[in-house]
């Protein structure tokens, strides 16, 4: 096995006086010179390569740091956006509720009532059973306002709303029609069944009293009718309203049923 001569060993051989007349001496000197030049070039390339690697690594580290920072910012923005979206959804639900509910009693307002009436009309057209409508009105409500103030009147309306709703089924609807008037929508309910329900409502209201300087008994008058197939719903509403007016004219605290 042969071993490679080092530069120092080659230089000593070339400087040996005995090799002065060796015909290969110039060629060997030239080869040694080129070998040194090539190694110097290689070393420079290695240094350049090392610098380039260090720069590339530094740039990569900077990019990763920037990426992590941007990712954290994006995650923060996403969390803020999620909270904002939830707030918007909650606000939308509140606005929807406010648009469909009476602010005092929490009952459905006219808008929601008319939407439900539209659903019932569509169901009837598909062959469903007719529904019944009831118009309720608090008796002597103006006297309560005049004698005890509007705050007392508001308490009465809330008491009536709560009492009426507790007598209804889950799919029935009690809406505030206006002032001290309420309307009941009773789906798939004929006059006989609706009559019993309204009488229970009126009896529950009779058990209420307005507490103050003196106890004031409460009562309601009611007009009841059923929807007739193919008629305009306004006619049904007017029929129930007319029955209510007649019940109040007949002495209040009573129910008048109008079949058609």
Q: What is the mean pLDDT of residues 55-60?
A: 81
- Whole-angstrom Cα distance, residue 120 to residue 233? 10
Q: What is the mean pLDDT of residues 76-104?
A: 84
Q: What is the mean pLDDT of residues 244-260?
A: 94
Task: Give Cα 99 distance to the centre of its chain.
Answer: 16
Report the catalytic residues: 180
Residue 226's pLDDT band (cuts 50, 70, 90) = very high
- Whole-angstrom Cα distance, residue 223 to residue 239? 8
pLDDT in tens, 149-195: 889 999 999 999 999 999 999 999 999 998 999 999 999 999 999 99
Would you say 198 and 134 are in contact if contact means Cβ atoms under 8 Å apart? yes
Would you say 226 and 185 are in contact if contact means Cβ atoms under 8 Å apart? no
Would you say 208 and 163 are in contact if contact means Cβ atoms under 8 Å apart? yes
φ, ψ dihedrals at 34, nearest 5°: -65, -35
- Whole-angstrom Cα distance, residue 128 to residue 122? 9
For residue 69, the model assigns a pLDDT of 87
Q: What is the mean pLDDT of residues 25-53?
A: 79
User: CA torsion sign, 201 to 94 to 179 to 182?
Assistant: negative
User: CA torsion sign, 113 to 119 to 124 to 128?
Assistant: negative
Measuring CA to CA, how many Å separate 242 from each of 89, 193, 201, 255?
Answer: 42, 21, 20, 12
Q: Does the pLDDT of residue 33 top 90, yes or no?
A: no
Instruction: Kindly give, in sequence order, each residue whose CB lies less than 8 Å from that of residue 128, ignoring residues fewer than 6 positions away.
Output: 120, 188
DSSP single-letter state for residue 18 = G
Q: What is the pTM of this model?
A: 0.66
Q: Going along 15-171, which residue ranges are E strands?
A: 132-138
Structure tokens at 252: 């209040």
Residue 4's pLDDT band (cuts 50, 70, 90) = low
């Amino acid at each position: 096995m042969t071993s490679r001569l080092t530069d120092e060993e080659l230089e000593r051989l070339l400087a040996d006086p005995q090799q002065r007349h060796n015909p290969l001496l110039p060629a060997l000197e030239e080869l040694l010179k080129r070998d040194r030049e090539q190694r110097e070039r290689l070393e420079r390339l290695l240094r350049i390569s090392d610098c380039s690697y260090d720069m590339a690594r530094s740039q990569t580290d900077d990019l990763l740091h920037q990426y992590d920072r941007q990712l954290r910012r994006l995650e923060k923005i996403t969390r803020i956006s999620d909270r904002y979206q939830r707030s918007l959804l909650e606000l939308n639900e509140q606005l929807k509720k406010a648009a469909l509910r009476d602010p005092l009693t929490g009952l459905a307002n006219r808008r929601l009532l008319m939407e439900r009436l539209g659903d019932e009309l569509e169901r009837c057209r598909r062959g469903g059973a007719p529904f019944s409508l009831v118009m309720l009105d608090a008796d002597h409500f103006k006297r309560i306002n005049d004698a005890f103030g509007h705050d007392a009147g508001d308490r009465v309306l809330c008491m009536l709303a709560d009492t009426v709703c507790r007598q209804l089924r889950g799919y029935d609807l009690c809406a505030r029609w206006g002032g001290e008037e309420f309307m009941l929508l009773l789906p798939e309910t004929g006059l006989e069944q609706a009559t019993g329900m309204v009488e229970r409502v009126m009896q529950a209201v009779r058990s209420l009293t307005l507490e103050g300087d003196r106890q004031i008994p409460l009562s309601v008058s009611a007009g009841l009718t059923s929807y007739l197939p193919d008629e305009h719903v306004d006619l049904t509403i007017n029929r129930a309203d007319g029955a209510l007016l007649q019940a109040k004219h007949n002495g209040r605290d009573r129910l008048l049923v109008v079949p058609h």
